Amino acid sequence: MPIERSERLFINLSILMLVIFFIAVLVSAFIGGLQVPAPAGTIDPAAINQTAPFDNPGVRELVPGKRYEVVMIAQTWAFIPGEIRVPAGSEVTFRITSRDVIHGFEITGKNANVMLIPGQISLVKVKFDKPGEHYIICHEYCGIGHQTMYAKIIVEP
C-alpha cells in the first residue's frame, strides 16, 4: 500500500527536526562550549580545616582592583565567609567545597549556579561590573535550616 503524501511529509519533517536538534546539541556543546562544569579537584571533607586553601577561607587579592579569589566553605547552614567585599569591575573566582552534605551555590543577578558536593571542589568565575549587593543562596535542600543559608557579596564603588 503506498504511503499517503501528507503522511510521508510528516515523517520527513519529524526526521528533519531530530537532525536539527542533534546539530543544535553538537554546536552548543562543542562550538559554543556549553558544558556541565567539571569538578576542579577533590578534597577529604573531614580534613577541610587542615587542607589548603580551605584551612583559611576568605577573599584573596590576585591583581588589586581586578582579580580576586574567594575560598569558601559551605556547611549546614552557612557559607564561610558569610560576607565578601570586592570592588566594582573585578573578576572573582569562587573556589568552593562542602563540609557535610550537598548544598547549592547560586549568585542572585548573575549567571552562576553550581551544586556543591562533599569531596569535590567547584570553581565559579563571576565578573562584578556595577556596585551593589548580591546574595549567594543555597538552592539544594540541606536540612531544617536550608532557607537561612546564604552569604552576601558587597560590590564596592
Residue choice 41, 62, 141, 156 for contact with ligand CUA (CB under 6 A): 141
**Least distance between ligand CUA and beta carbon 118 (Å):** 12
CA distance 136 to 157: 20
Residues in the chain: 157
Residue choice 103, 106, 136, 155 for contact with ligand CUA (CB under 6 A): 103
CB-based burial, 68-105: b 16+ in 10 Å, e otherwise: bbbbbbbbbbbbebeebebeeebbbbbbbbbbbbebbb
Binding segment for ligand CUA among 2-10, 11-19, 61-69, 135-143 (CB under 6 A)? 135-143
CB 94 within 8 A of CB 105: yes
Secondary structure of residue 56 in the 3-state scheme: coil
Binding segment for ligand CUA among 34-42, 61-69, 121-129, 139-147 (CB under 6 A)? 139-147
Of residues 54-83, those binding ligand CUA (CB under 6 A): 77
CA distance 70 to 96: 8
E strands within 67-119?
A: 67-75, 78-80, 83-87, 90-98, 103-107, 113-116
DSSP alpha helices (H): ranges in the chain? 5-26
Measured from the CB atom, the residue of 67 and 152 that comes closer to ligand CUA is 152
Tell me: does residue 107 bind ligand CUA (CB under 6 A). Answer: no
Residue choice 70, 71, 73, 149 for contact with ligand CUA (CB under 6 A): 149
**Least distance between ligand CUA and beta carbon 85 (Å):** 23
Tell me: does residue 140 bind ligand CUA (CB under 6 A). Answer: yes
Tell me: does residue 91 bind ligand CUA (CB under 6 A). Answer: no
| Residues that bind ligand CUA in the complex, under the rule CB under 6 A | 77, 103-104, 138, 140-142, 146, 149
